[in-house]
Amino acid sequence: MKITFRNFRITDAFTDTMGSVTVNGGRIVDVSPESEARPIDGLVFDGGGRLVLTSGFVDMHAHFREPGFSEKETLESASLAAARGGYTSVVCMANTKPPVDNEAAAYSIKRRADTLGLTRLYPAISLTEGMNGKKLSPYLEAEPSAARAYSPPLLSEDGKDVEDDGLFSAALRRAAEGGHTVSCHCDLGGEDAAVDRALRLGAGCRVHIAHVSTKGAAELLRHHKKRDPRTLLTAETTPHHIALTCRDAATSGPETFGKVAPPLRGEEDRLALIEALKDGVIDVIATDHAPHTTEDKLNGAPGFSGLETAFTVCYSTLVKRHNFSPQKLFSLLSAAPARILGLSGHGAIAAGNNADIVILDTECETLIDSAMFASRGKNTLFSGRKLYGAVVLTLCGGRVVYQSPF
């Protein structure tokens, strides 16, 4: 279906202008300044000169919980949550039941998600067999082949570290041979020590540090990148770590509803993360979407549901409070993760790119109500808060997959 978005503020990591965008056949076919608007046929959306059009968000770190934990989340509910949050591409982690440690398991999940058509899903594959930390995963053991049905953009043992130095190093080297980025959890012996270990053992490899939460870890990254500007090292932090502190966790129950891994830190750490985002030491914001049942949270399961609140939290925290430009925010949410994952045709509003688009109202106030989440996990510390910004409409491959009822 041909759709034209007229009179929008087109903003991404590279562009900020008033104009029109036309999509057809799953691709962006035209981007024009409003003064050069062309005759329109097909479906038309008018932004009234107020709404923002940007490239669909890319999440490098989410837990979709299938197979094995459908009481927490299903592929369908997580995909709906992604669409509602403006996410058109998502990497889901391998710590399912059984863990995703081979190509066939990952491809099966991807095919189901492709059938749903709500978001482009890229299942990560674990570093070790069964995520047991004892031997390389079947995927890494296999010889790389051009005939593979599915090659993940990210490998990860998320949820824990590979404790054996030799095995961890071997996994990193093997992944590098296949051109894969490895996302490292980093909490063995404390976050700062674990980040230092990953940097040391992963020298020369495509190492990505997940959910950075401490000032010390940010400074290690800063030192490493300054010493080697051409490094393959990248890093992410989360919306909750830049917006909340341990005081929020204490108020909500540090061992129940306020519990997350890594834990929420102090104000000094929070501000250090924001500074690291500002100057490029941390490259990406990833949700670490981790849905749980209420019973799970009462029993101490760590994690928050984040796909549906990420944009609003980040816009309120970074743009409204810390003077980030929208372009910088969209780089963190879209262009940078697309680049790291090697997703061509993503991350920018440009003719020829995939028609993965999100329409945003950046001027409205939004009351977060977790009861309205599409995700089965209602666990968030943002429920009841008034924040800025809302997702109005999401297109994935030129199809409308979410439209706000408001």
CA-closest candidate to residue 184, choices 203, 162, 200, 164: 162
CA-closest candidate to residue 57, choices 312, 323, 277: 312
Q: Which residues are catalytic?
A: 288
CA-closest candidate to residue 285, choices 306, 264, 304: 306
Number of other residues whose CB lies within 10 A of the CB of residue 240: 25
Q: In what order do the strands lie in the sheet with 87-92?
A: 57-62, 87-92, 120-123
CA-closest candidate to residue 271, choices 306, 317, 228, 235: 317
For residues 330 and 16, is the Cβ–Cβ distance under 8 A?
no
What is the SS3 assignment for 382? coil
If phi over 0 gives left and psi between -120 and 50 gives alpha, with beta otherwise, what is residue 77?
A: alpha
What is the SS3 assignment for 260? coil
Strands 120-123 and 87-92: parallel
Number of other residues whose CB lies within 10 A of the CB of residue 363: 11
Number of other residues whose CB lies within 10 A of the CB of residue 327: 16
Residues 151-165, buried b or exposed e (16+ Cβ, 10 A)?
A: bbbbbbbbbebbeee
End-to-end CA distance of the chain: 24
